[in-house]
Amino acid sequence: MPNHLLLRESGSQPINGNFCFHLYERQLSLEGIELNVNISDVVLKTFTNSSKNITIGGASKPVDCFSKYRVNIVVPYRRRPEQLRVFLHYLHRYLQLQEIDYRIIVVEQSPEMHFNRGKLFNVGFVESQKRFPSDCYIFHDVDLIPLSLNNIYACTKMPRHLSSAVDTFDYELPYCGIFGGAVAITSQHFQSINGFSNLFYGWGGEDDDLYFRVSQAELGVVRFEKNVAKYKMLRHEKEVPNPNRFVTMKKNKIIHAVEGLNNLNYTMLSYELKSLYTLMRVHL
Ligand code: NGS
């Protein structure tokens, strides 16, 4: 499996010391970072105060070795504080165990419109590339928790569907083109497919549309085996599906090249470096 993973920007070398060995070489386990699905504000504050090596804005990298993998993790968000707390509490510890050089970026949509997951990812990508560029992105839902440490949070040569074995689907793929949840893709590939569509307001379709874009560009998709790509989905009420999603998907099959990153518009309402994440609040 490690051979499939792309190393961070070519040419990067540790200035002092050595590359990290990472987990597949050390066989650590998740012991010690068990998942707690009820994290209060107080618990998260205690975690923040006690956690070492997370810099303001929610970035971290190993201190005693040079990580082979550097990634920006973008999380679209609105009104799910309980899940965000659980996600941050778990994911920081998980990524630190994996010895990844990472930053967590939360992109929060203002209340006026229906939630637009794809567009929030596009904004997170564009804004992050301006401020803290990375060759590798993970587009990640806040309600998904990776359960195997071997699911290294890095990019592969082909775009990777990370969350292909989710507990709510009995760890099976519900259909072969499913491409939602958590996806890793290089910046170069993401740019080449013109990102996500901006047109999906409401639940559903934007991830299938991304799969279409990736297939059209013949990039291929990779998934790791079931016991590696295992996730727990945190409980939440089912979102109301967007009734227009099939029409939009059909239309996008023609216009995807001119609809996405290249015609993205939004208003940044605020930009804040929180202790455990970088927060971008946007109006779409
Ligand atoms: C499909 C949706 C996807 C969604 C997937 C799984 O039906 O956007 O279900 O959803 N596609 C359409 O509606 C066209 S889940 O059960 O994980 O919420 O990702």
Return the pLDDT at 115. 96
Q: How many Å lie between the centroid of ligand 1 and the Cα of residue 23?
A: 32
Establish whether residue 124 lines the binding site of ligand 1, counting it when its CB lies within 6 angstroms of any ligand atom.
Answer: no
Q: Does residue 3 sit within a domain?
A: no
Range(s) of the domain holding residue 39: 15-283
State the pLDDT at residue 173: 95
Residue 174 lies in a domain: yes
Name the domain count of the chain.
1
Report which protein residue has its CA nearest ligand 1's atom 1: 204
245 lines ligand 1 (CB under 6 A): yes
C-alpha pair distances (Å), 50 with each of 18, 59, 67, 105: 27, 15, 23, 21
Q: How far is the CA of 155 from the centre of ligand 1 (A)?
A: 23
Q: Are 121 and 195 in contact (CB under 8 A)?
A: yes
Ligand 1 atom closest to Cα of 207? Answer: 8
At 172-208, the pLDDT tens digits run: 999 999 999 999 999 999 999 999 999 999 999 999 9
Give the pLDDT score at 281.
98
Which CATH number characterizes residue 266's domain?
Answer: 3.90.550.10
> Looking at the domain assignment, is residue 81 inside a domain?
yes
Tell me the percentage of the chain whose pLDDT exceeds 70.
92
Q: In 10 A of CB 150, how many CB atoms?
A: 20
CB of 208 within 6 A of ligand 1: the answer is yes
Low-confidence stretches of the chain (pLDDT < 70) are: 1-3, 10-17, 22-29, 31-32
Is the shortest distance between the CB of 141 and ligand 1 below 6 Å? no
Instruction: Check pocket membership of 205 for ligand 1, CB cut-off 6 A.
Output: yes
Q: Identify the pLDDT of residue 1.
A: 47
Considering the domain boundaries, does residue 223 fall inside one? yes
Has residue 38 been placed in a domain?
yes
| pLDDT the model gives residue 19 | 85
72 lies in some domain:
yes
Q: Which atom of ligand 1 is nearest to the CA of 246?
A: 14
User: 180 CB under 6 A from ligand 1?
Assistant: yes
Residue 251 burial by Cβ neighbours in a 10 Å radius (0-12, 13-18, 19+) = middle
CB 160 within 8 A of CB 183: yes
> Which atom of ligand 1 approaches the CA of 233 most closely?
17
Residue of 173, 178, 234 with the most ligand 1 atoms within 8 Å of its CB, for mutation? 178
* Side-chain-facing half-sphere of 74: CA atoms under 13 Å: 29
Locate the ligand 1 atom nearest the alpha carbon of residue 179 and give its number.
Answer: 19
In a domain, 270, yes or no: yes
